[in-house]
Amino acid sequence: MAEKDMRERIKEVAVEHFNSNGYHGTTIRNIAKDVNCSLPMIYYYYNNKKELFDEIIKREYFDLLKRQTALLETNNVIDFYTKFVYDLNFLSNYDKKVYRLGIKVYLSFDGDEELMEIMDEWEKTILPRHYQILKPYLKNADNDIAIVRTLVHLLETLIESIVVKNRFLPEEEIREEISIVLRGCE
Amino acid sequence: MAEKDMRERIKEVAVEHFNSNGYHGTTIRNIAKDVNCSLPMIYYYYNNKKELFDEIIKREYFDLLKRQTALLETNNVIDFYTKFVYDLNFLSNYDKKVYRLGIKVYLSFDGDEELMEIMDEWEKTILPRHYQILKPYLKNADNDIAIVRTLVHLLETLIESIVVKNRFLPEEEIREEISIVLRGCE
DNA sequence: ATATAATTCTAACGAACGTTAGGTAGAAAA
DNA sequence: TTTTCTACCTAACGTTCGTTAGAATTATAT
- Given a cut of 70, whether residue A186 has pLDDT beyond it is no
Q: What range defines the domain where residue B19 resides?
A: 1-46
Which of B150, B152, B161, B181 is the best substitution to test chain A (most A C-beta atoms within 10 A)? B150
Q: How many CB atoms lie within 10 A of CB A147?
A: 24
For chain A, how big is the Rg over CA atoms in Å? 19
pLDDT at residue A1 above 70? no
* pLDDT(B14) > 90: yes
B163 in a structural domain: yes
Instruction: Tell me the average pLDDT of chain B.
Output: 94
pLDDT per position as a tens digit, B66-80: 998 887 677 889 999
Q: Quick check: is B87 in a domain?
A: yes
Number of domains in chain B: 2
Model confidence at A136: pLDDT above 50: yes
For residue B51, being part of any structural domain is answered with no
| B98 and B27 co-located in one domain | no
Q: Are residues A18 and A90 in the same domain?
A: no
CA distances for B96 relative to B36, B61, B70, B120, angstroms: 23, 10, 17, 21
| pLDDT at residue B3 in the model | 43
Give mean pLDDT, residues A68-75.
78
pLDDT at position B4 is 55
How many angstroms separate the CA of residue A4 from the nearest CA in chain B?
30
Give the confidence band of B184 by pLDDT, cuts at 50, 70, 90. Answer: confident
CB contact under 8 A, B177 and A108: no
pLDDT of residue B134 exceeding 70, the answer is yes
CATH of the domain at B33: 1.10.10.60
Q: Which is nearest to B82 in space by CA: B160, B170, B144?
A: B170
Residue with the bigger pLDDT between B53 and B73: it is B53
Distance CA B179, CA B185 (A): 9
Instruction: Note whether residue A110 is domain-resident.
Output: yes
Any domain includes B186: no
Query: Average pLDDT in the A109-115 region?
Result: 95
Distance in Å, residue B2 CA to nucleotide C8 C1': 12
Residues B14 and B86 placed together within one structural domain of the fold:
no
